[in-house]
Amino acid sequence: MTRICALLLCLTLSACGFTPVYGPSGAGTVLQNRVLVDQPDDRVGFLLVQRLEERLGRPNAPAFRLAVDLALREEARAIDPDGDIRRFHLIGSATYSLSEAGTGTVMRTDVVDTFVGYSATGTTVATLAARRDAQERLMVILADQIVLQLQGSAL
């Protein structure tokens, strides 16, 4: 029974035109080790570029250039009866543009956005550590969204 289910799954996937991202003609292989990400301006930009390079690789001879413009803002989400803020949302938006390295022709431009939360309970040091952790988590999510969009598009 298991073999029949596996066979049916394989036939279904092959019939729908499924191509693995990192397969021989997948979008992942087109981008892997071929995208040069612009240098970051600050710590959160560095975190974003670091994650993008983890996912896309670092190119020796880049075929593409990726420019990313980050926008971050913080919102107070939970305020206790004394008026102290106990929880924040860190909201991030990344506008990116993928272009050919040689010609500068823009191939794709889009925006990704999301948010993460962190607690502001305890000491100032604990709150700062929670904010830094939230920034790291946010950059991972934004970078992963960028990579998924690029891999999902036909280049």
Bin 104: left if φ > 0, else alpha if -120 < ψ < 50, else beta. left
- Beta-carbon contacts of residue 45 (< 8 Å; ≥ 6 apart): 68, 70
The average pLDDT across 86-98 equals 97
Q: Please give the pLDDT value at position 154.
A: 60
With CA atoms as reference, report the closest residue to 93 among 33, 145, 130.
145
Predicted pLDDT at 155:
61
Task: Report pTM.
Answer: 0.82
Does residue 23 surpass a pLDDT of 60? no
| Helical (H) or strand (E) element with 43 | helix 43-56
Residue 11's pLDDT is 54
Highest mean pLDDT among 2-6, 7-11, 61-65: 61-65
**Among the four given CATH numbers 3.30.160.150, 3.20.190.10, 3.40.50.720, 1.10.10.970, the one describing domain 28-152:** 3.30.160.150
Interhelix angle 124-152/43-56, rounded to 10 degrees, is 40
Q: How far is CA 126 from CA 29, 122, 130, 132, in A?
A: 42, 6, 6, 10
Reported confidence tier of residue 7, pLDDT bands at 50, 70, 90: low
CB 40 within 8 A of CB 46: yes
What does the pLDDT look like over 97-138, one tens digit per residue?
999 999 999 999 999 999 999 999 888 999 999 999 999 999
Residue pointed to by tokens 């279904």: 12
Q: CB of 135 within 8 A of CB of 90?
A: yes
Domain boundaries, the chain: 28-152
Express each pLDDT in 38-84 by its tens digit: 999 999 999 999 999 999 999 999 999 999 999 999 999 988 888 88
pLDDT at 148 over 60: yes
pLDDT band with cut points at 50, 70 and 90 for residue 32: very high
